[in-house]
Structure 1
Amino acid sequence: MNVTSLITKDKASIEALLSQLTLEEKVSLLSGHQFNATPGVPRLGIPPIKVADSINGIRPSGPSSEDETTTCFPSTTCLASTWDVELLGRLGEQLAHQAKLKSVQVVLGPTINIHRDPRGGRNFECFSEDPLLSGRLAGAIVNGIQKHGVGACPKHFVCNDSETLRHSYDIAESPHGRTLREVYLAAWQHLLRVSDPVAVMLAYNKVDGLFCSENETLVADILRKTWGYQGATISDWFAVHSTVPPIRAGLDLEMPFPITRGDRLLEAVRERLVAEEELDAPVTSLLRLRDRTKPSHQDAPERSELNEEANALAYELASSGIVLLKNDDDVLPLDPLRTPNIAIVGEFATDPPVTGGGSASCKPPYTQNPAALLQSAFAANPSSQVHHVPSVRTNAIIPIVPTSLLTSPITISYYNPPNQSPPTPIHTTILPTPHISMLGPPFDPPFLSPLGSHLVLTTTLTPTTTGTHTLAVRHTGAFTLSLNSTAVLSVPEPTLTTSDYLFHPSLYESRIHLPLQASHPYSIHLTMSSRSSLMSHGEPTPYGVTLCFEEGTASDDDDGSRIDSAVLAAFNADITLIFAGRSDQHESEGFDLPHIKLPGAQAEMIREVAKAAKKIVVVLYGGNPIDVEEWVDEVDGVVFAHFPGQEGGRAVVDVLRGERSPCGRLATTWWRGVEGGGSFGWFPAREGEVVRYGEGLGVGYRKENEGEKVRWGFGFGLGYGTEFWYGELEVEVLEGEGVVRCAVRVGNKGRREGKEVVQVYVVPRSEGCKVWRPERELKAFTKVRLEPGESRRVELEMDLKAACSYWDENERCWRMEKGTYCVRVGDQIQSFVVASAVEWNHL
């Protein structure tokens, strides 16, 4: 009999199953069993549940997961910039297929936290600064995933919009305040209006003094009672801090292990702090989750595949999300006849970033080289020349030493305390690369002591060039590094959290600059101790070391000489393409950005190249807006590629060549420097302080008088040879049906076909309004394709109350005041009248 055969959609059957569970079995179902799975109850046919990150690529979790690939779609900011509900629905369906390849029942995503500040480290895996755009696009992905029997688990409910101190910071806002209701919680309302995810993940942080995992107002009151959500609620990993309050608040599942539950919860029941009947609701919720994901339950090994349909979709998403930000004098698309000699500058031209870092990253089966694609594209023209120079380095950490430079085996030996005389290793092995990464205990080898042990790594390094080079060690414990029996670097144990270890390697990387000779062998002897104590709160303790090396990076004139080579290439070219931006080393889960300028010497390089270039276009990679003020007026074109996934190289090149007309629109405002945003001065979290949303409702384009500080606004994006016009805007209010209908004619009087994003904003009533309201708010959108000379009547419908109401903090309800409002679409504006005031509070 299949293990899922006893899980049925019949409510009475689930209740009967519940009655057969022992107390111990009920408790076991309320916590994870492995890092990415929950336990089952085999005797009753209750299967385990396997979960996996993320919507940008279903991450493998098997024994060889570090080496296993999976289809890598563009990051979520790129998805949002498509503004395309239908396309993201197709992505959801493909993710369901990918999840089944990994034997996954629940996809942990999409992430719908708001882009509050452009320094948010995890913004790349979120959609937008706007709650409606975030919720509607996320809902499309959820519906696509769940159409094929796999579950989706949107995250993080709520206010996880910063990575700094994310496990502990406290948002000093009431869940009944306007800021949370109209921006942060509103994204979830929009999501739940159009989709019904099987689960919702609760955030790490506190809101109004309470951790989200034990916040009754947020979970039991708003999510469950007011909005009527009946799916499962699960914690973020290691985000539960107590045993009884999360049960009362409505948290169903603690992940990844039973830290506050398990034996502690059994003891709480026995001491009558929790009634056994109180466990029935979360257990029932998790049984329903299994029922809803029944088609995805299978007992099969994980696998990956090259799927042409998925690859084509990855390309469509990337090319649809790329945003053309500047195109003076139609410098783009590239014309090999007009500009036959092309200089390509930047490391990202040959090794482009495809994703940000952390749990939303994945290893693609392939990536593409934009420089090589451009060279191939113009090879047919015998007069064309395409030349590439890497120029300045962009890496935030020193890369792992190439094995080609290691001329003896990489040997590692482990030693347990107390040390014998002479010390005797408990285990010795040969490594393929000088890299060890473990989270435990237990470790591998399993008998390695988590405290007091140490390891020794030996090999031989033979540089290929003579110069001052950089040798580095990423380490979890105190270490000593010796070259040819001479100690050259000793560093104490770094202050480190598990999250730091997973996502922020620069925090535990120690470097030294050394003069080394080409072809000369240097014996390496690296001794590292275990950490002096285990991590708190049940988190796994890291035990890792990585030997890193980079040649020729320590000389004072390194950046200068690399900039000079780029300038020379640009001087001899008709057009220069600079590939710049950030990688997963700069934008990642686990930390926020210190600023939004280009990393390293990239801005200086662009300025210097611009002095020599005849024409210059900058292609930017990243998830967050980038401060372009130092150089944007000196360049002719700017293209924002986001983190575009495995097909991003081809998509970028096709946009540059005009094979694809850019049709992406910004989902987040680009400010003239980080100081322009409303959150500046209130971000990020600081130790010992509560987090204040001092900007209130002024997030992104909602900020009062935001225009003067904006470089490129929310919804902005250019095309090639398209010129869209709007006319004949009509608005109809049907108060009896609770809807606002608007229709507008959209035309393309340009010379090329293209896609336009029709954005419908509601301008709130101005006369006699009791509270301040933003000048405009997005309330509907759609994307249309138009041929040259074509026009189309586009119709959109909005929920009347959702379009016109604000949150009344005193009465704790939504309030729609009667009066005159306006709809704005493009350059068209039309007023409409709401005849009756309404108070309401539901989804």
Structure 2
Amino acid sequence: MSESIETRLAALTTEEKADLVAGEAIWTTKSFPVAGIPAIGVTDGPNGARGGGLLGTGTATACIPAGAVLGATWDPELVERLGGLLGDEARAKGCRVLLAPTINLHRNPLGGRNFECYSEDPILSGLVAASFIRGVQSRGVATTPKHFAANDSEFERNTIDSQVDERTLRELYLVPFEYAVAEGGTWGVMSAYNRLNGIFCSENEWLLTQVLRDEWGFDGFVVSDWFAARSTAGSARAGLSLEMPGPGQWYNRGPIGEALAAGEMDEGHLDRIAGDVLRMLERTGALDGDEDCQPGQERELDRPEDRALVRQAAAAGTVLVANNGVLPLNPAMAGSLAVIGPNARKAQIMGGGSATVQGYRNVSLMEALGDEYGHLDVRYAQGCDIERSLVALSAPMLKGKLRLEYFNGHDWAGPVVHTKESASAEMVFFGEPGPGVNPEEFSVRASGVLVAEATGEHTLGLVQLGRCRILLDGETVLDATEGDYDQGDDFFGMGSELISAEVQLTAGRETPIVIEYSNRDSFMLCGVRVGLKSQVDRDLIAEAEAAAAAADVAVVVVGTNADWETEGRDRDSFDLPGDQPELIRRVAAANPNTVVVVNTGGACNLDWADQVAGVLVAGFGGQEMGHAVADVLFGQADPGGRMAMTVPARYEHNPAYLNYPGENGVVRYGEGLYIGHRWFDARAIEPAVPFGHGLSYATFEWSAPRVTGGGDAEMADPVIVEVDVVNNSDRAGSDVVQVYVEPPPSLLHRPVRELKGFAKVHLAPGERTTARIVLTRRAFAYYDPGDQTPQGLDSMSPIPAGESHKRTEPGWYVDPGSYTIWTARSSANLVHPAKVQLDELTI
């Protein structure tokens, strides 16, 4: 502990230290002006610094690609630059802590937050996470890699007991966090909601002290996930530094004082966690009197260079899965283009839940084509619906933006105390709605213009946490300000059931709409979502077929939305929602030049892929996604992505199938070490798309690898793998040299081979470079928890024990033998082998 921290700590009373380790409000910590300790702001999240809003509300900010797209870039340098962008945005939102990155693993394709997480692979996740952290913290903003640990699905996420054996934890689920500490130097970590082997993560001493601090050398702060703290003394002893949000339920002078008096914890435990909070304040510059980053002082940046970077990243994470030569399209083509699909005109740029931000922009493919390829005859067809539940009203049915006027009181009366605009008819409030607005009692009037696309009956609906009514043309058409309504599953299960009314609308007619909402009868979280759905009978697939048949090329943009992929709920199905698989097949039959763009956050069923001319996996690509997809389609950018997860041919092939999602409050990680590509290799199952796969428009030639190191060298002496790469095409492009290690027969079972390093190269036509991958001894090691059979138990058996080949000391071990190092283009496309001989080593 530094001298300045010790001095400030000594100046605080026990009661003040107890208050310091609990938040003040939803997004702020406590201040102690006499001691020179200010309050600071914290903000979500992994793809954008939202500030004081929630679920996409609040000040507009940069929306970078979601985590799964960042993982698919395989480009730590690029991700570090994006981290710097989010560090700047966090400070612009008055915050010194960014609640990111999300680095749990893709254990199952249906995980509701897979889109937030980088990969199924711990090494890829760890290297990307470390670079993200370095970028953010270079701006003086702390990161909190989350959720520590084994928080890999949303099923019963607040209470589920993740039962994971220690070897699997050490070799898979803890590895990204270890990289975050050792390589990223993270200043914070966020503990998870779930239990780990019976103990809540926020009070798990083995996890937060023995592993995180004692073994990895972490000296930062551990913050609870919101409302995830479960105890006072147990959490303090384990090393939970900060309970959020405030005011604390388990931490503050009341409960901590009682725990101290009862002898359940001592002053040393309190000093340790209070010191953690002070160290975070020191590292982020909060103790230096910096006035440029104050809670509640939010501003927009929206810099041109940031837009360009986000666009570059979206293209870099777009994976060209298949291409029969139709791509890239000629930018000068003079023909017609059919753009089809529910996500073609309304791109899904991020997932739902706490990662949601109000991006500066949301550019769909249709918008991008109109901006840059106006000479083309572009024809649009929706193709089908994919709504799971009520989708918030937005463009094109909403013309322009809604104007929101805020009032203190529940009756939309008195002076307007705050105004803002919104591109969506979803208003969610968690804390203060805006400057001068009383969070305990307020109302909002949102005014805009509705434009229907079809003449006939439409369903107008709302889901509310509070009270709302809707007026069209000055007439009240839906009033939910009185009466009782059952709860639905929106807004984390706190929202009402769908409340709806039928209205008649005329295509193209501008209809004034007013949404009046008050927070009466709400608790803590409040808001409303208003949507509109046409009931006019149309054969959407037939319309899409006709558009495709009349075009030179058909581009079908399929995917999900924030209803399907979101925090708080896992996905319902491995298949694309709605009639999208049938839409793809029928469009492909109508036009042989059909390209499918997959706009999902996680893996989905691609059993239609062999029927189309090309497949691009774009993921949730952030605010510039439409431009990035257009860039890739027309060859203005190389599809730089490689799959960060294995896509199974059938859902039943996924490794966690028999253990997912859990039952009776327990989820067993019964597949052990064999998730992702490890499982498919071990079981000799051919996936639909292997891990690491991705095509480029350029072609590359690799030399055989040159390997140095090995033998009885010390742990500090790495094995170096070098590969010469040349771009032998007439196009610029990128390639990823992946390195997999295949072990010799070992004392314990091991995966067939595992990714242990990679290098991404960017080459102009004819350019040559050398990819260099460094493998430490950990790349060849496995964790042996040791045989913990009680001493002397074998002697009680009537059967002679014989010679034992078991270890009794847990640790990382390298078995002696010849290891095969593969350079590869994917886990299933091995290019060149090389051998390295290693002696036995304990790390």
TM-score if structure 2 supplies the norm length?
Answer: 0.85
In 1: Cα distance, 2:446 partner to 2:298 partner: 33
Partner of 1:763: 742
Partner of 2:323: 327
Amino acid at match of 1:323: V
Where does 1:436-585 land on structure 2 (aligned, <5 Å)? 437-439=428-430, 466-476=455-465, 493-495=485-487, 502-503=491-492, 508-510=496-498, 512=500, 514=502, 516=504, 518=506, 541-550=524-533, 552=534, 554=535, 557-558=537-538, 561-585=539-563
Indicate how the Cα distance of structure 1 residues 644 and 415 shifts in structure 2: closer, same or farther if over 3 A, else same.
closer
In 2: Cα distance, 1:411 partner to 1:12 partner: 50
Partner of 1:602: 580
Amino acid at match of 1:610: A
Q: Does 1:747 align with 2:726?
A: yes
**Secondary structure at 2:666 match in 1:** coil
Q: Does 1:364 align with 2:362?
A: no
Indicate how the Cα distance of structure 1 residues 253 and 606 shifts in structure 2: closer, same or farther if over 3 A, else same.
same
Indicate how the Cα distance of structure 1 residues 800 and 681 shifts in structure 2: closer, same or farther if over 3 A, else same.
same
Larger mean CA deviation between 676-685 and 265-274 belongs to 265-274
Amino acid at match of 1:675: E
Instruction: Pick the aligned partner of 2:202 from 213, 216, 238.
Output: 213
Larger mean CA deviation between 514-523 and 735-744 belongs to 514-523
| Structure 1 gaps, min length 5 | 1-9, 417-424, 535-539
Deviations 1:245-275 (A, max 9, x none): 0011111110112111222112222333322
Where does 1:337-416 land on structure 2 (aligned, <5 Å)? 340-375=335-370, 377-380=372-375, 384-400=376-392
In 1: Cα distance, 2:268 partner to 2:405 partner: 56
Instruction: Pick the aligned partner of 2:647 from 670, 692, 697.
Output: 670
Larger mean CA deviation between 634-643 and 310-319 belongs to 310-319
Deviations 1:333-370 (A, max 9, x none): 01267772211112422321211122222112123242
Indicate how the Cα distance of structure 1 residues 209 and 442 shifts in structure 2: closer, same or farther if over 3 A, else same.
farther
Deviations 1:210-256 (A, max 9, x none): 10000111111111112221111111100011111001111111011
Deviations 1:651-699 (A, max 9, x none): 111110011121211111111132221011322244x331001211111
Partner of 2:796: none
Indicate how the Cα distance of structure 1 residues 615 and 515 shifts in structure 2: closer, same or farther if over 3 A, else same.
same
In 2: Cα distance, 1:124 partner to 1:378 partner: 30
Q: Does 1:808 align with 2:785?
A: yes
Instruction: Pick the aligned partner of 1:833 from 821, 834, 837.
Output: 837
> How far off is 1:640 after superposition?
0.9
Indicate how the Cα distance of structure 1 residues 781 and 119 shifts in structure 2: closer, same or farther if over 3 A, else same.
same
In 2: Cα distance, 1:830 partner to 1:401 partner: 57
Aligned length: 791
Deviations 1:514-550 (A, max 9, x none): 474659999999999966xx9xxxxx64444444332
**Secondary structure at 2:688 match in 1:** strand
Partner of 1:309: 305
In 1: Cα distance, 2:412 partner to 2:360 partner: 37
Q: Does 1:651 align with 2:628?
A: yes
**Secondary structure at 1:105 match in 2:** strand
Paired residues of 1:69 and 1:362 also in contact (CA < 8 A) = yes
> How far off is 1:803 after superposition?
2.8
Paired residues of 2:390 and 2:498 also in contact (CA < 8 A) = no
Partner of 1:298: 291
Indicate how the Cα distance of structure 1 residues 217 and 752 shifts in structure 2: closer, same or farther if over 3 A, else same.
same
Paired residues of 2:705 and 2:834 also in contact (CA < 8 A) = no
Indicate how the Cα distance of structure 1 residues 50 and 828 shifts in structure 2: closer, same or farther if over 3 A, else same.
same
**Secondary structure at 1:772 match in 2:** coil
In 1: Cα distance, 2:712 partner to 2:627 partner: 49
> How far off is 1:725 after superposition?
3.2
> How far off is 1:793 after superposition?
3.4
Amino acid at match of 1:568: A
Indicate how the Cα distance of structure 1 residues 667 and 414 shifts in structure 2: closer, same or farther if over 3 A, else same.
same
> How far off is 1:125 after superposition?
1.1
Partner of 1:641: 618
Deviations 1:102-147 (A, max 9, x none): 2221111111111111111111111111111111111011112222
In 2: Cα distance, 1:459 partner to 1:338 partner: 39
> How far off is 1:482 after superposition?
12
> How far off is 1:53 after superposition?
1.4
Indicate how the Cα distance of structure 1 residues 24 and 348 shifts in structure 2: closer, same or farther if over 3 A, else same.
same
> How far off is 1:598 after superposition?
1.2
In 1: Cα distance, 2:99 partner to 2:190 partner: 8
Larger mean CA deviation between 248-257 and 465-474 belongs to 465-474
| Structure 2 gaps, min length 5 | 788-808, 825-830
Partner of 1:4: none
Instruction: Pick the aligned partner of 2:126 from 135, 142, 147.
Output: 135
Deviations 1:747-785 (A, max 9, x none): 33334232111111110112xx22221111111111112
> How far off is 1:170 after superposition?
0.4
Indicate how the Cα distance of structure 1 residues 776 and 487 shifts in structure 2: closer, same or farther if over 3 A, else same.
closer
Instruction: Pick the aligned partner of 2:589 from 611, 614, 617.
Output: 611
> How far off is 1:469 after superposition?
2.1
Paired residues of 1:71 and 1:364 also in contact (CA < 8 A) = yes
In 2: Cα distance, 1:464 partner to 1:665 partner: 39
> How far off is 1:807 after superposition?
3.1
**Secondary structure at 1:733 match in 2:** coil
In 2: Cα distance, 1:448 partner to 1:214 partner: 36
Paired residues of 1:343 and 1:577 also in contact (CA < 8 A) = yes
Paired residues of 2:55 and 2:357 also in contact (CA < 8 A) = no
Amino acid at match of 1:624: G
Indicate how the Cα distance of structure 1 residues 211 and 148 shifts in structure 2: closer, same or farther if over 3 A, else same.
same
Amino acid at match of 1:142: I
Indicate how the Cα distance of structure 1 residues 612 and 728 shifts in structure 2: closer, same or farther if over 3 A, else same.
same
Amino acid at match of 1:832: V
Indicate how the Cα distance of structure 1 residues 166 and 588 shifts in structure 2: closer, same or farther if over 3 A, else same.
same
Instruction: Pick the aligned partner of 2:688 from 708, 711, 717.
Output: 711
Paired residues of 1:427 and 1:445 also in contact (CA < 8 A) = no
Paired residues of 2:742 and 2:754 also in contact (CA < 8 A) = yes
Partner of 2:251: 261
> How far off is 1:374 after superposition?
2.7
Amino acid at match of 1:59: R
**Secondary structure at 2:735 match in 1:** strand
> How far off is 1:611 after superposition?
1.5
Amino acid at match of 2:236: I
Indicate how the Cα distance of structure 1 residues 337 and 20 shifts in structure 2: closer, same or farther if over 3 A, else same.
closer
Deviations 1:274-305 (A, max 9, x none): 22332111111111111111179435521112
Amino acid at match of 1:245: G
Partner of 1:420: none
Partner of 2:225: 236
Q: Share of identical aligned residues, percent?
A: 34
